[in-house]
Structure 1
Amino acid sequence: MLEAQREREDKYEVDHDFAVPDLEETLPAGGRLEQATTTLDSVYYDTDDHDLFGHRVTLRRRAGGTDAGWHLKVPADKARTEVRLPADDADGIPAEMTDLVAGVAVDKPLRPVAMISTTRGTYRLFDAGGILLAEVADDRVQATAIGDSARASAWREIEVELGEGGDEELLQRIGERLTRGTARPSEWESKLSRTLAADTTSDLARADGTARTVLLAYLDAQVEAIVAGDVWLRRGLDPIHSTRVAIRRFRSTLRVFRDLFDPDQRRRLDRELKWYAGALGEVRDRQVQRERFAGAVATLPVELVMGPVAARIENDLLAEQHRSLDTVMDTLAGARYRDLVASLARWRTAPPLTDEDTAGEKAIKQAAGKARRKAKKRLATAVAVGDDTELHRARKAAKRARYAAELAAPVPGTKKAARKVKKYKKIQRVLGEHQDSVVATGILRMLGARAGTTPGENGFTFGLLYALEQQNADNARAQATRLVS
């Protein structure tokens, strides 16, 4: 059975004669320190083109230690999620694992790419109640890359991984103890990247100049979320919302900062991301409306709920949600989606920047400012006209202004970034409520019509819910009026 856990760790490079400091002073009152030594042997798998590696996804089979078996590591913001599967005697990679990485590997075959043997001295820090706070691993590593880039290497490093009871402050305290000596933060993201002698920090996250770094690192974070969403979808989980948000942020950046990217490649990727987001949106819309309608029905007096209203809503919308999810899964298996994943990988290694990016911080600030002015203008127009379509356009402009402010926040000289993000997030929420009500009225009209022609049901309650949604839309318009400034 597949198991998953979140992994947050810091890595340090040390010399072979490094002395691990006394870690007991980092323990809370009543805590304890346990030590052990073990040997870990791991074989890493990837495509010939290192597609998993390019997206910071790793697949390995480990022997030794308490977690022997198959491990799949997927980026998760500043941490990683590790999916585990016990090893068996069968040859080859388990289908459960190959299925999860099919999208990232773009259906290419997987083969061993590296063998890493580690002699690990562990220091496990527990609190007074026996809860694991952190594990400090003193690793002496021997590694061999397999294939055309075959090479052997050896080094020593320290890994500090948070346990279920640890926090970022503890990571910092342990790091301070280590760096009082000769330990230094590692330039390598993983043992695999060092084995292959390849820096996994892509060009999207690594650029010359502050502005380019900010721009490309923002996009890189969205690619990570999209790739993680692919894996979780194949595992049967629900990353629909987080994946769509990442796509929106990516597309918004392509549009707001359009002058910094090759126009043809920018338009092509934007079109494909819009296509994929559309498929995900069909699922998400049903999820949102099911929750919305269930809450609305629950607040109505019992005497106004005539017939099996909740059942009609749940059964009809859930059936549509499942059909839409089936479409998404078919999409993941298609050639067009594989091409999209390959495109995102290319943008990571070689983003199509134009000469305009040399304008640096000025270009970032100007584009973000333009997005703010457009959002302000569209909101004023939408409120004056009162048209649903214009309000929806204003909502999308507010999203782009918000995401642009998020991206530009680290650029030196950017003022009041947090306040701008908060402002446009509020506009987005208010106009989002309006749009949800507009969509809801259409669905309620359809459900009410079905109920009206079904024995034992009638459309009264759906009509009441329809009127309430119209009222919600009116309230949102009024709130939007007050947001014009």
Structure 2
Amino acid sequence: MIDPRAQRTGAKRLPWSDASSDAAATGPRFTPADSFLVFAYAVVAREAAALAAKRRAGAEMPTPHEIHQLRVTARRLRVALRLFRRLLPSRDVAHFRAELRWFASSLGDARDLDVYTESFKQYAQGLPPDRRRELSDYELYLRRERAEARQRAAAAFESARAAALFDELQRFAAAGPSAGALRRWRSLSIREAVRRSMRGSVGRVRRLGRELDERSRATELHALRIRTKRLRYELEFFAEVYPELAQTAEACKALQDLLGAHQDAYTANARFRRYAASLRKQGGDGTLPPALAELRRSQLAQARAVRKSFKERWPAFAATIDAARRAIS
């Protein structure tokens, strides 16, 4: 898929070729006056190297923690490609973003069930023995779901498609920008590009958030969570040049985690509905055992509490991201 580009920069060592270096150890490599194009390739190279490092030799099935890290890194790389899409070859960006979406989605069910199973186990362990016995059939259902999800994740992880994606990403990152791209974008500094990006990204999050209240749909809160996560990753990229943005990225993570708790509650509720449907297929009436019905009620109550907390926390968060935007302007 990667199109060879006729003109490359020379053999001189350039920032994007040092993707394995630890920026935290060596200090900032860029200043606001530097080329945004060179910065873009450096970020993409670093994120691609991080993804490759998390794919263990021998294509062994990753542990639950490694699955989480792979998904996060794939998402960060997708955000980087989206953020820098105007500067990068459009066909490559479209290809990589589609393949990274496939890869992260292939691991998604396994990761979600890993997290949910641990949470459910803690709930079950807190019940009296007689109540815990009510959950045995559901626990068996979860084990089957989790095993099937991990099989799907293993198939994707070990596939030739995933291997090709990792190889293509590393070749793309190592190649760097063409001489033509360097000429075209030579006047765009990091300072100017970050200003533009912050205006757009902060504005999108603000528009979504100010419309939400305690009656908003779960899909609307989830959309804000995705936008906030995107903004967080952008801020983390830019914090290499503007360290003060790291604190704003932490504020984004806090809101992302809050909205994630809301999404987890609704995802769990959907899982209960699927389980009830499976009971009906087996000839039952689809009624959840009392211990599960109680858990379902507590999770919906948690979702309501998150909505209330969001309404209280939103003004301070909006002020924080607005201040970060003004600081760069």
Are 2:74 and 2:100, in contact at CA under 8 Å, matched by a contact in 1? yes
1:224 equivalenced with 2:49 (yes/no): yes
Give 1:277 deviation, angstroms: 0.5
Give 1:250 deviation, angstroms: 0.8
Which residue, 74, 87, 94 being the options, matches 1:247?
A: 74
Which residue, 226, 234, 257 being the options, matches 2:84?
A: 257
Distance 2:172 2:215 in 1: 40
1:437 equivalenced with 2:262 (yes/no): no
Are 1:254 and 1:270, in contact at CA under 8 Å, matched by a contact in 2? yes
Residue matched to 1:142: none
Q: Does the C-alpha gap of structure 1 residues 297 and 333 become closer, same or farther in structure 2, counting only changes over 3 Å? A: closer
Give 1:318 deviation, angstroms: 2.8
> Could you tell me which amino acid in structure 2 is paired with residue 320 of structure 1?
E
Residue matched to 2:133: 307
Residue matched to 1:408: 238
> Could you tell me which amino acid in structure 1 is paired with residue 236 of structure 2?
E
Are 1:438 and 1:473, in contact at CA under 8 Å, matched by a contact in 2? yes
Distance 1:340 1:438 in 2: 33
Task: Tell me the secondary structure at the aligned position of residue 484 of structure 1.
Answer: helix
Matches within 5 A, 1:44-123: none
> Could you tell me which amino acid in structure 1 is paired with residue 41 of structure 2?
L
Q: Does the C-alpha gap of structure 1 residues 435 and 204 become closer, same or farther in structure 2, counting only changes over 3 Å? A: farther
Are 2:239 and 2:246, in contact at CA under 8 Å, matched by a contact in 1? yes
**TM-score when normalising by structure 1:** 0.52
Q: Does the C-alpha gap of structure 1 residues 204 and 380 become closer, same or farther in structure 2, counting only changes over 3 Å? A: farther
Are 1:409 and 1:418, in contact at CA under 8 Å, matched by a contact in 2? yes
Residue matched to 2:198: 368
Residue matched to 2:152: 327
Distance 1:335 1:416 in 2: 42
Q: Does the C-alpha gap of structure 1 residues 262 and 459 become closer, same or farther in structure 2, counting only changes over 3 Å? A: same
Distance 1:441 1:232 in 2: 38
Instruction: Give the fraction of aligned pairs with identical amino acids, expressed as a percent.
Output: 24
Distance 2:166 2:185 in 1: 26
1:419 equivalenced with 2:254 (yes/no): no
Are 1:280 and 1:328, in contact at CA under 8 Å, matched by a contact in 2? yes
Matches within 5 A, 1:7-26: none
Distance 2:262 2:271 in 1: 15
Give 1:300 deviation, angstroms: 4.1
- For residues 405-435 of structure 1, what are the alpha-carbon distances to aligned partners after superposition, in whole Å with 9 as ceiling and x for unaligned? 1110122xx3731221111011100111111
- For residues 436-461 of structure 1, what are the alpha-carbon distances to aligned partners after superposition, in whole Å with 9 as ceiling and x for unaligned? 11101011233345568689x96222
1:394 equivalenced with 2:224 (yes/no): yes
Are 1:204 and 1:216, in contact at CA under 8 Å, matched by a contact in 2? no
Give 1:219 deviation, angstroms: 2.6
Q: Does the C-alpha gap of structure 1 residues 381 and 203 become closer, same or farther in structure 2, counting only changes over 3 Å? A: farther
Q: Does the C-alpha gap of structure 1 residues 420 and 201 become closer, same or farther in structure 2, counting only changes over 3 Å? A: closer
Are 1:290 and 1:313, in contact at CA under 8 Å, matched by a contact in 2? no
Structure 2 stretches lacking a partner, 5+ long? 1-10, 22-28, 316-329
Give 1:472 deviation, angstroms: 1.2
Which residue, 290, 294, 297 being the options, matches 2:124?
A: 297
**TM-score when normalising by structure 2:** 0.75
- For residues 217-257 of structure 1, what are the alpha-carbon distances to aligned partners after superposition, in whole Å with 9 as ceiling and x for unaligned? 33333222322332168334411000101011111122233
Distance 2:45 2:215 in 1: 39
Distance 1:462 1:449 in 2: 14
Residue matched to 2:304: 474
Q: Output the aligned Cα RMSD.
A: 3.2
Q: Does the C-alpha gap of structure 1 residues 408 and 424 become closer, same or farther in structure 2, counting only changes over 3 Å? A: same
Give 1:299 deviation, angstroms: 3.5
Q: Does the C-alpha gap of structure 1 residues 385 and 330 become closer, same or farther in structure 2, counting only changes over 3 Å? A: same
Residue matched to 2:5: none
Residue matched to 2:209: 379
Distance 2:14 2:143 in 1: 41
Task: Tell me the secondary structure at the aligned position of residue 260 of structure 1.
Answer: coil
Are 2:15 and 2:42, in contact at CA under 8 Å, matched by a contact in 1? no
Give 1:280 deviation, angstroms: 0.8
Task: Tell me the secondary structure at the aligned position of residue 230 of structure 1.
Answer: coil
- For residues 357-393 of structure 1, what are the alpha-carbon distances to aligned partners after superposition, in whole Å with 9 as ceiling and x for unaligned? 7412111332134212212221222337611111111
> Could you tell me which amino acid in structure 1 is paired with residue 188 of structure 2?
A
Residue matched to 1:110: none
**Alignment coverage as a number of residue pairs:** 284
- For residues 124-151 of structure 1, what are the alpha-carbon distances to aligned partners after superposition, in whole Å with 9 as ceiling and x for unaligned? xxxxxxxxxxxxxxxxxxxxxxxxxxxx
Give 1:283 deviation, angstroms: 0.9
Distance 1:426 1:245 in 2: 16
